[in-house]
Amino acid sequence: MHTNITQEEVRRVAALAKLRFSDEEIESFTEQFDRIVAYVEKLNEVDCTGVEPMARVGGEITPPREDTPGELLEPAEALKNAPKKMEGFFSVPKVIE
């Protein structure tokens, strides 16, 4: 059974991601997402009887690299693309009460 993606779902996800799209873009994304979901749902047709679940594809884990400090940015350089800044710092919405 195929799950149909609706324009309302696309609009909700866009709002959550703080993205704005035209009606034409919403229509296009709805069609694209619907095709993607239909393609992924084909995996439900695969017989996985006797297949052990996997935590990861590869056998070896890449060891973490050393945590060494790199070259520092100047404050002006770090803030140049910040959407909001205040007194030389990044300004972000409060998320914890």
Reported as a single tens digit per residue, the pLDDT across 11-48 is: 999 999 999 999 999 999 999 999 999 999 998 899 99
* Joined tokens for residue 69: 């400090």
- Go through 38-72 and write b for each residue having 16 or more CB atoms within 10 A of its CB, e for each that does not: eeeeeeeeeeeeeeeeeeeeeeeeeeeeeeeeeee
* Joined tokens for residue 90: 């990044």
Q: How far apart are CA 9 and CA 45, in angstroms?
A: 25
Among 51-55, 69-73, 85-89, whose mean pLDDT is lowest?
51-55
pLDDT at 35: 93
Place 62 in a pLDDT band, splitting at 50, 70 and 90.
confident
Q: Per CATH, which fold does 7-45 belong to? A: Histone, subunit A (1.10.20)
Place 94 in a pLDDT band, splitting at 50, 70 and 90.
confident
pLDDT at 1: 67
